[in-house]
Amino acid sequence: MIGRVLVVDDEPHVRLSYRVALETEGYEVVEASSGKSALGQLIDRRFGLAILDVRMPEMDGLELLARMRENKIAVPVVIVTAYSDVPHAVKAMKLGAIDFLQKPLRPEELRTLVADVFKRHAPVIELSEENFAAHITAARRALNLQAFAKARVHLVKAMELNPESVEAFNLAGVLAELLQDYDKARKYYGQAIKIDKHYEPAQQNMRRVFEVHNFGSTDEPLSLGEE
């Protein structure tokens, strides 16, 4: 068994589809039909990842995530949203959840993201000054843990190694957004889109920022080293 995943959704057929997609890859899948049930599972057992649906009755996914953080449960979280859940995505990011899947989702998308999260939070990450991929992984992990200064260090290193990395600029936008510098976040997302207009994470992030916040100038992206 390569990892235990908690799937939290009030719809049985959704939980079943996630189970089928993940168990074929060797994951142990535990289901919870409500936020209350999920919180009990998280307190009693160890998980490598929790997949939370935003829209659930009684305790929704964001309330569950907040309760997890209140109880010092630092399990990585993937949030499943609909396009209309933009404000929820902002709140989830502030609670350390930076990984999102939009409905309807494909099994391969789910498997790819779950594998990435488990790799990111492995006990040991091989890291060297020249390892771009490891710096990106470490930056994502630091963002999950809300270790923003550490995330900045790794993103600076990643950008030095690959100044045209769409992923690095997108993550720099996430970092700026979490630090409530929304104008800088827009600039980084814009640079990511300029590099690759088909990079959907940056497109989604840009749509969210424009929907939630107002902006002034349209300057070029700032250096991550600037305050």
pLDDT digits (tens, 9 = 90+) for 47-71: 999 999 988 998 999 999 999 999 9
**Residue 204 pLDDT grade (very low, low, confident, very high; cuts 50, 70, 90):** confident
Out of 14-23, 66-75, 105-114, 115-124, which region has the weakest mean confidence (pLDDT)?
Answer: 115-124
Mean pLDDT of 142-156: 93
Mark whether 142 and 93 lie in a shared domain. no
How confident is the model at residue 227, as a pLDDT? 41
Q: Which has more pLDDT, 1 or 12?
A: 12
Q: Is-contact 82 60, C-beta < 8 A?
A: no
Domain end residue (candidates: 120, 151, 177): 120
Specify if 218 maps to a domain.
no
Mean pLDDT of 108-125: 86
Mark whether 101 and 14 lie in a shared domain. yes
3-state SS of 55-122 is CCCCCCHHHHHHHHHHCCCCCCEEEEECCCCHHHHHHHHHCCCCEEEECCCCHHHHHHHHHHHHHHCC
The count of structural domains within the chain is: 2
Would the pLDDT of 129 be above 60? no
Domain end residue (candidates: 82, 99, 120): 120
**Residue 218 pLDDT grade (very low, low, confident, very high; cuts 50, 70, 90):** very low
Q: What is the pTM of this model?
A: 0.74
Mark whether 15 and 88 lie in a shared domain. yes
Give the domain extent around 172.
132-212
Mark whether 39 and 109 lie in a shared domain. yes
Q: Where on the phi/psi map is residue 191: left (φ > 0), alpha (ψ -120 to 50), or beta?
A: alpha
Mark whether 32 and 69 lie in a shared domain. yes
**Residue 224 pLDDT grade (very low, low, confident, very high; cuts 50, 70, 90):** low
Would the pLDDT of 217 be above 60? no
Q: Helix, strand or coil for residue 139?
A: helix
Mark whether 50 and 107 lie in a shared domain. yes
CA angle centred on 89, ends 69 and 2, rounded to 5°: 60
Which amino acid makes up residue 136?
I
How confident is the model at residue 53, as a pLDDT? 92
Specify if 222 maps to a domain.
no
Domain end residue (candidates: 61, 90, 120): 120
Sheet strands side by side (includes 99-102): 28-32, 4-8, 49-53, 77-81, 99-102
Q: Please give the distance of CA 214 from its chain centroid, rounded to a whole number.
A: 24
Structure token digits, residue 140: 């994502």
**For residue range 169-192, what is the model confidence (pLDDT) as tens digits?**
999 999 999 998 999 999 999 999
